[in-house]
Amino acid sequence: MFLFTDAYAMISAIRAQEGFIGTWGGLLNIPQMIGGLIFIWTIEGQVVLASVILTLMVAGQIHKRTPFSHLIGICHLPWLIMAPWLAHRVLDHEHGLMLKAWLIYVLITVTISLIFDVMDVWRFLRGDKTFAWAKTNERP
pLDDT tens digits, 50-100: 999 999 998 888 888 888 877 888 889 999 999 999 999 999 999 999 999
- Residue 86 has phi, psi (to 5 degrees) of -65, -40
What is the pLDDT, as a whole number, of residue 1? Answer: 55
* d(C-alpha 20, C-alpha 33), whole Å: 20
* The pLDDT of residue 105 is above 60: yes
17 domain residue, yes or no: no
What is the pLDDT, as a whole number, of residue 137? Answer: 46
What does the radius of gyration of the chain's CA atoms come to, in whole angstroms? 16
Give the highest mean pLDDT range of 67-71, 74-78, 102-106, 116-120: 102-106
Residue 51: partners with Cβ closer than 8 Å, 6 or more residues away: 32, 78, 79, 82
139 domain residue, yes or no: no
Task: Answer yes or no: are the C-beta atoms of 101 and 31 closer than 8 Å.
Answer: no
130 domain residue, yes or no: no
The burial of 110, by beta-carbon neighbours within 10 Å (0-12 exposed, 13-18 middle, 19 or more buried), is given as: buried
What is the pLDDT, as a whole number, of residue 23? Answer: 75
Task: Answer yes or no: are the C-beta atoms of 71 and 62 closer than 8 Å.
Answer: yes
> Count of domains in the chain?
1
* The pLDDT of residue 140 is above 50: no
* d(C-alpha 129, C-alpha 134), whole Å: 11
45 domain residue, yes or no: yes
Closest to 114 (Cα-Cα) out of 62, 51, 34: 51
97 domain residue, yes or no: yes
Number of C-beta neighbours around residue 60 at 10 A: 23
pLDDT digits (tens, 9 = 90+) for 3-54: 778 877 777 777 777 677 767 777 888 899 999 999 999 999 999 999 999 9
Number of C-beta neighbours around residue 15 at 10 A: 12
Q: Which domain holds residue 66?
A: 3-8+24-125
